[in-house]
Amino acid sequence: AEAEWVPRVRVHFAAEDPFVFSRRFAGAFHARAQAELMLRYNLFVDSMPTEDLPPLSTDQINRMLRFALNTKKLKDKLMETSQLISEVNLEYARTMNRVAFNRMLVKGSGDGPATLVALPDSYDFALAPRPAAPACATVPLPGLDFPHQFSEFSFRTLLTKGEVISAL
């Protein structure tokens, strides 16, 4: 017999419930599609030019430095902050590009390579309306049928078999 490499996600063990396997496989497929979408999205955003965008104003930079250096230990030291300020300006430019790119994706305008990109699921939170906050801090849960759950667990696992326990 010839050995062949198979990705772990495609391995279905005989003791595994087929429904659990299919959910796991579908979840892995969806996660991979989302990861590819995130990579493509971030590549587009990071490839946008940042030179044309205005940097943070001196008032904004001074305010950030005042808040950041507002401790006893940091007030006395003369710290070199130019590198940090350039990093903050770069992140600010990337964020502005991301906002513009998201706006273009939501409008659906564009007939170039950006049509190959969609907003990933994790970015939908900024676009979808938030649900109303609950009146209390608890969430009602349905009752749990313990005998039924235990029966299902016992049916789907081998850890309740005497042979398996003695082998462990």
In terms of pTM, does the model score above 0.75?
no
Which pLDDT score, from 0 to 100, does residue 78 have? 67
* Strongest mean pLDDT among 55-64, 129-138, 148-157: 55-64
Percent of the chain with pLDDT over 90: 15
pLDDT per residue as tens digits for the range 88-129: 999 999 999 988 888 888 777 656 666 677 776 665 545 556
| Sequence-distant contacts of 96-101: CB under 8 A, at least 24 apart | 96/53, 97/45, 97/48, 97/50, 97/53, 98/45, 100/48, 101/44, 101/45, 101/48
Q: Average model confidence (pLDDT) for the chain? A: 82
Q: pLDDT category, 54, cuts 50, 70, 90?
A: confident
DSSP assignment of the chain: -------GGG---TTS-HHHHHHHHHHHHHHHHHHHHHHHHHHHHHHS--TTS----HHHHHHHHHHHT-SHHHHHS----HHHHHHHHHHHHHHHHHHHHHHHHHHT---SGGGG----GGGGGGTSPPPPPPSSS--------HHHHHHHHHHH-STTSHHHHHH-
Percent of the chain with pLDDT over 70: 86
Query: Looking at the predicted structure, is the pLDDT value of residue 140 above 90?
Result: no
Which pLDDT score, from 0 to 100, does residue 125 have? 47
